A and B are shown apart, each in its own frame.
Chain A
Amino acid sequence: MSGHRIVAITRRLLQGFRRDRRTLALLFVAPIVILGLLGYIMRGSTSAPEVGVANQDSGPLGAIVADGLKSSSHIRATDINAADGDARLKDGSLVAYIVLPSDFSQQAQAGTVAPEVHLEGSQPGEDAPVIQALQQSMISLASRVSGRSVTFQFQVKYLYGGQNYDTLDYFGAAFVGLVVFFLVFVITIVSFLNERSQGTLERLMASPLRRGEIVVGYMLGFTVLALVQAVEVLVFALAILHIHNQGSVFLIFGMEALMAIAAVNLGIFLSMFARSEFQAVQFIPLVVVPQVLLSGIIFPVSTEPKGLQWLSDVLPLTYAVNGMRDIMVKGADVTWPSLQLDAAVVAGFCILLIAAGTATLRRRLG
């Protein structure tokens, strides 16, 4: 081994990077952006889950438990009417509500209490603080019932999901769409860049083809591939992994198709800003990773700091992920306004990108 030759290779490598400012930016800026975002999401979040308390107890002990819940640091509890509970779970303003029945004090005196815990259920992680807060309140209740021990028998009811609903069901619904989005984006950006770098795009531009025809032709070609991939992903997710699905398979497929079309057009648009496949791949951490962190796939948007929630609200992936979860976890159909909004935003993003993709081709004319 010659140290001199090894040093020559090392030096050559570093000299190349010196002139590639974008790669340097990726190496030194992207980690700070990604980790900073992650830290801000995880530490900046102060919002405890919103929980409703319907105290129907005719005796004095229900109020003690209700006060205990309200003073808990695990949740933010407010008084509600039990009749409004399910509607509040559906509109997302509560993650759970607890009903303390009218004979709650009598139950406690008899030694067994059975408060009802109604969980929204679509996010597995959000159950834990609710149960924890309730348990703490019950412990303080037990100390007030003198002379005997009190057993707790929570009656847990789920609006969505259920007892067998697990983390994979929650993440799976989002990942079914994300996998298609991510892979189609990578393939499109590299292929379209090839079209530019191998000179064939110049040839197409000198043909009677209209720019819109190139973009739409590309979109259809990749969409065909993406749809086949979407079918494969869907079958694997539902038949092999048994990911929880309450909705129509056709709706899931439709949402996947929209995500694929968005990914194709994002790839075409961004290929304008890369000069090589190497630079194209750099868009993954810069464009895709922040979207994955902010779109609610891992951390629910409602738990993000307010500033990031605004950012999340303008990212198309947020709506796509929400739509997939609405369909698969909550069984949404086309009549649901939230699903209509999600589909409209993703479709609008597709149209915007088709226009942007076509415009970038025009820019090449100089």
Chain B
Amino acid sequence: MSETYAVTVEDVSKSFGSFKALNGVTLRVRQGEIYGLLGPNGAGKTTLIRLICGLLEAHAGTVTVLGQRMPQVAVLRHIGYMTQQAALYPALSVEENVRFFAAINGAEDGVKQALELVQLYERRGSVVATLSGGLRQRCSLACALVHRPELLLLDEPTVGIDPQLRVQFWDSFRRMAAAGTTMIVSSHVMDEADRCQRLGLIQYGRLLAEGSPADIRTQGGSQNLEEAFLALAGRNES
């Protein structure tokens, strides 16, 4: 049976000056799956996400998203992108921020549902500048998913938030994936990896391994995902 891929990255390389941020990366993300992009800081995760949403252009290789070769503006209305920092307008309220991102995506009817999903509906009138880091992250997530994108790119969405909220976030991600949304979640926290259906381990701009968390454990020869990652990284360096 042929599988449908929401994202196909083929032998992609990207450099910034003499620094090679990505070096021949190939990966495929199936429709409706949660794909974890794991690696240490500076591994190339954010660069890969920016290539997928067309913010950067690859020097070599191709990126195909929802059947369209990137960069392609028409595809962007089907993509939701949550940046690493909670990129919001601090002088606007929660609802005003979400409504703005809904408007530029032509989906103002989704505001209430998005606010409810991140449990911010009661706080919708609060000005973002007055919110805690965790609440800002929730607002940022609502902005990314308000137009019900087919592909959601989440760049370290759980950095700096408490464990309780992290659990809530992952519950939301699972519900959205169940409803058919494809998700690429980058993280450098290994305990989040088990929540993903498939993982891509990335270091120094190269994809070290790809597969389900169980596959990665097998490949790395350890039941501990962090140890498996370190073993795979060590093999790559030697």
Question: In the complex the two chains form, what is the Cα distance from A207 to B74 in whole Å?
Answer: 9
Main DSSP-derived SS at the A contact region: loop
Indicate with 1 or 0, residue by residue over A199-211, a CB within 8 angstroms of chain B CB atoms. 1101111111110
Closest to A195 in B: B89
Question: In the complex the two chains form, what is the Cα distance from A209 to B54 in whole Å?
Answer: 13
Given A200-B87, A200-B88, A366-B16, verify A206-B77 contact (CB < 8 Å).
Answer: no
Least Cβ distance of A47 to chain B in Å? Answer: 51
Closest to A211 in B: B73
Asked whether B53 is an interface residue with its Cβ less than 8 Å from the other chain, the reply is: yes
| Contact present for A365 and B56 (CB under 8 Å) | yes
Which of B16, B81, B88, B106 is close to A198, meaning CB atoms less than 8 Å apart?
B88
| Contact present for B87 and A203 (CB under 8 Å) | yes
Which of A199, A208, A366 is close to B83, meaning CB atoms less than 8 Å apart?
A199
Closest to B14 in A: A366
Which of under 10, 10 to 19, 20 to 34, or 35 or more describes the interface residues of B? 20 to 34
Given A198-B87, A198-B90, A203-B83, verify A366-B73 contact (CB < 8 Å).
Answer: no
Q: Which of A60-82 contact B (CB under 8 A)?
A: none
Closest to A364 in B: B55
Main DSSP-derived SS at the B contact region: loop
Asked whether B222 is an interface residue with its Cβ less than 8 Å from the other chain, the reply is: no
**Interface hub of A199, A202, A206 (most chain B Cβ within 10 A):** A206
Question: In the complex the two chains form, what is the Cα distance from A310 to B54 in whole Å?
Answer: 44
User: Which residues of the partner chain B approach A199 to less than 8 Å between Cβ atoms?
Assistant: 83-87
Given A198-B87, A200-B87, verify A208-B16 contact (CB < 8 Å).
Answer: no
Asked whether B1 is an interface residue with its Cβ less than 8 Å from the other chain, the reply is: no
**Interface hub of A207, A209, A210 (most chain B Cβ within 10 A):** A207
Which of A204, A208, A209, A366 is close to B57, meaning CB atoms less than 8 Å apart?
A366
Question: In the complex the two chains form, what is the Cα distance from A198 to B74 in whole Å?
Answer: 25
Indicate with 1 or 0, residue by residue over B55-79, a CB within 8 angstroms of chain A CB atoms. 1110000000000000101101101
User: Which residues of the partner chain B approach A208 to less than 8 Å between Cβ atoms?
Assistant: 73-74, 76-77, 104-106
Closest to A217 in B: B104
Question: In the complex the two chains form, what is the Cα distance from A205 to B79 in whole Å?
Answer: 12
Question: In the complex the two chains form, what is the Cα distance from A203 to B144 in whole Å?
Answer: 9
Given A207-B76, A208-B76, A210-B73, verify A202-B104 contact (CB < 8 Å).
Answer: no
| Contact present for B87 and A365 (CB under 8 Å) | no
| Contact present for A206 and B81 (CB under 8 Å) | yes
User: Which residues of the partner chain A approach B87 to less than 8 Å between Cβ atoms?
Assistant: 198-200, 202-203
Question: In the complex the two chains form, what is the Cα distance from A349 to B83 in whole Å?
Answer: 35
User: Which residues of the partner chain B approach A203 to less than 8 Å between Cβ atoms?
Assistant: 81, 83, 87, 101, 143
Question: In the complex the two chains form, what is the Cα distance from A204 to B81 in whole Å?
Answer: 10
User: Which residues of the partner chain B approach A207 to less than 8 Å between Cβ atoms?
Assistant: 76-77, 81, 101, 104-105
Q: Which of A208-243 contact B (CB under 8 A)?
A: 208-210
**Interface hub of A202, A204, A210 (most chain B Cβ within 10 A):** A202
Question: In the complex the two chains form, what is the Cα distance from A205 to B53 in whole Å?
Answer: 9
Least Cβ distance of B138 to chain A in Å? Answer: 16
Least Cβ distance of B20 to chain A in Å? Answer: 14
User: Which residues of the partner chain B approach A209 to less than 8 Å between Cβ atoms?
Assistant: 104
Closest to B143 in A: A203
| Contact present for A365 and B55 (CB under 8 Å) | yes
Question: In the complex the two chains form, what is the Cα distance from A157 to B59 in whole Å?
Answer: 72
| Contact present for A202 and B76 (CB under 8 Å) | no
| Contact present for B55 and A202 (CB under 8 Å) | yes
Q: Which of A167-207 contact B (CB under 8 A)?
A: 198-200, 202-207
Closest to B89 in A: A200
Question: In the complex the two chains form, what is the Cα distance from A202 to B84 in whole Å?
Answer: 11
| Contact present for B73 and A206 (CB under 8 Å) | no
User: Which residues of the partner chain A approach B81 to less than 8 Å between Cβ atoms?
Assistant: 203, 206-207
Question: In the complex the two chains form, what is the Cα distance from A205 to B105 in whole Å?
Answer: 12
Indicate with 1 or 0, residue by residue over B76-112, a CB within 8 angstroms of chain A CB atoms. 1101010111111110000000000100111000000
Q: Which of B164-205 contact A (CB under 8 A)?
A: none
User: Which residues of the partner chain B approach A205 to less than 8 Å between Cβ atoms?
Assistant: 55
User: Which residues of the partner chain A approach B56 to less than 8 Å between Cβ atoms?
Assistant: 365-366
Of the A-B pairs whose beta carbons lie under 8 Å apart in the complex, a sample of 12, sorted by A's number, is: A198-B85, A198-B87, A202-B55, A203-B83, A203-B87, A206-B55, A207-B76, A207-B104, A208-B73, A365-B56, A365-B57, A366-B56
Given A206-B53, A208-B76, 16 extra CB contacts under 8 A? A198-B85, A198-B87, A199-B87, A200-B89, A202-B55, A202-B83, A202-B87, A203-B81, A204-B104, A206-B79, A206-B81, A207-B81, A208-B104, A209-B104, A210-B73, A366-B56
Q: Give 7 closest A-B pairs by Cβ, nearest first.
A: A199-B87, A206-B81, A208-B77, A206-B53, A208-B76, A200-B87, A203-B87
